[in-house]
Structure 1
Amino acid sequence: MNTIQSTREKAFDWAVYALLTIVSLIVLYPLVFVLVASFSSPEAVMRGEVWLWPKDITWMGYTKIFQNNEILTGYLNTIVYTVVGTAINLILSVAAAYPLSRKDFAGRNAISALMVFTMFFSGGMVPTYLLVKNLSMLNTMWALVIPGAVSVYNIIIMRTFFQSSIPGEMQEAASIDGCSNLGILWKIVLPLSMPIIAVMILFYSVGHWNSYFSGLMYLTDRDKYPLQLFLREILIQGQMQEMLGVGDDSHARNVMEGEAIKYAVVIVANLPVLMLYPFLQRYFVKGVMIGSVKG
């Protein structure tokens, strides 16, 4: 009986491994294809000859990127928006989640209910735009980081982490020893909350890095455009050129250059996020599971 059960368990494990391998390949292949296409000849990519390995290796896309001052400006702007926005997000999320996790905080359930209400009902795009305009934030960096300064979903995750992972007795002992609430947060809670902080940094930074719609709505000065807006323009121009068809040699050359730049920009745009994740990976699973399942 045990032998049969053991065989079934092994068969089930192999089936799970096989399924996860297939899913992983499906998820990874688009990224691999874009990476390979960024080094391949645009003609070979458009003919569908590129699959897993580069063909007629060329650096044309990357050369054009680093010769384009607007793309470099957008890259720098996106870094600034991501760093500043993530810092604001993290500070406000901690400032909201910590009091809501304290049992001695009066009215915390009512405040939590009001915050959750905003997850289902919001003012909408037009009132938000008018508010940003009345606050004189149009065409400024603050229009991209202030309206989304907090995420109720992330605050709930962080609050649950504080409640389930930070012993209340430890905070009470620190309070008896004369530590203030701010001191408890700074010296006890935050050092023990690195997993959830790492998760929040990843969530918020990826959101800022990939954001383009806020810039499309609120920015008019091209010197303040994030990288994603320039990437969007490149993709739209490439699609329009393909729809119009290839005419003379100069037009064909523009189409090929646009194809090379498109894949190269995608790689360059996602490289910082891909580099950030390995440093936060060891905290990621622990932070999400404890913050969202327990309590």
Structure 2
Amino acid sequence: MEPEPLDFDSPEGDPVRWEVEAEPWQDPFERRITHLASGTRLVQRRVPRAEGRDREYLYDLLENEARMGARLLTRLRRSYPPELPRLIGFSLDEEEPFVLLYDYRGEPVSRWFGALLISEQRTLQASLFRAVRILSACDIVHRRIEPATVRWDGTTVQLTDLSHATLAGTRRLRMGEAPYASPAQRSGEGVASTADDLWSAGMVIYRTVTGREITGVPDLSATPALQPLADVFSGSPPTAQEVLARLRVPDPMQSLPVERDLGLEEGRAAFDRAREARREPATEQVTRTQPVPVDEEPDRSLPWWARWLPLAVLLALLVVLWVVTR
């Protein structure tokens, strides 16, 4: 592997140039690279030119991953949790745009289907619901929690791929498939909620702990380790905090202060403005900056002298008639 320069913007919007060593692109969307100065291992996620030409929505997903990663950095800047992916930077105006993340931990949880020890089953549940709880505190709904996006290193989960994430309270879109996407998410009803992620996390845990294929709402009664998930698949699911309490795990937000970094907030706002400006034609920009009222009636008011003119004419006529009759 030969060293190569890598130019990108930090989450605050500052330009950065690193010397890196990069593995070959085995996966056209993702590769591992190493920052030579520090030895830090990174993941570079990109949209290849050919793929973007045929599926333009991939650019939106990549941009969304950068946006959500910046939001997490804004909220969790003093103590970033290991359960979530951490953004380093992005370059989104290239022919093949990309985002940079710290390297993932562990491997996809599918490797452990049906093979976890009892103690590991409990730890897996606690760690995954910690991730859901932290996202909810940042008003983020992941929307794609499934075996491919959940990694496990034996002690801690890492939830990856924020490209489909959205803010809680936004309109639900039809997304995902059974069994991992909740029924409401699959139908696109209502607004995005942490309940969607709870459903998905519960399904991933059931599949991993039992090793069984899921054909519907699973029966948890025969698996004592899964009793804390008893009503996660109901119409009135618990909160992530309540599930953690059942697992006798403290709320992580007691030790992870959610804050706002104004510098990162401004960087994220500038990022959003730049993305919108790139999408809007110049004529639309003029319309947005110089709005023209279309629902208002034009001002048809007359000058003051014009309003008094009919009365003056009438008075003059009366004077003339009085003079003639005299």
Q: Please, what TM-score do these two structures have when normalized by structure 1?
A: 0.19
Considering Cα pairs closer than 8 Å and 6+ residues apart, tell me whether 1 or 2 has the greater RCO. 1
Larger Rg: 2
- Greater share of residues in strand: 2
- Greater share of residues in helix: 1
Q: Please, what TM-score do these two structures have when normalized by structure 2?
A: 0.18
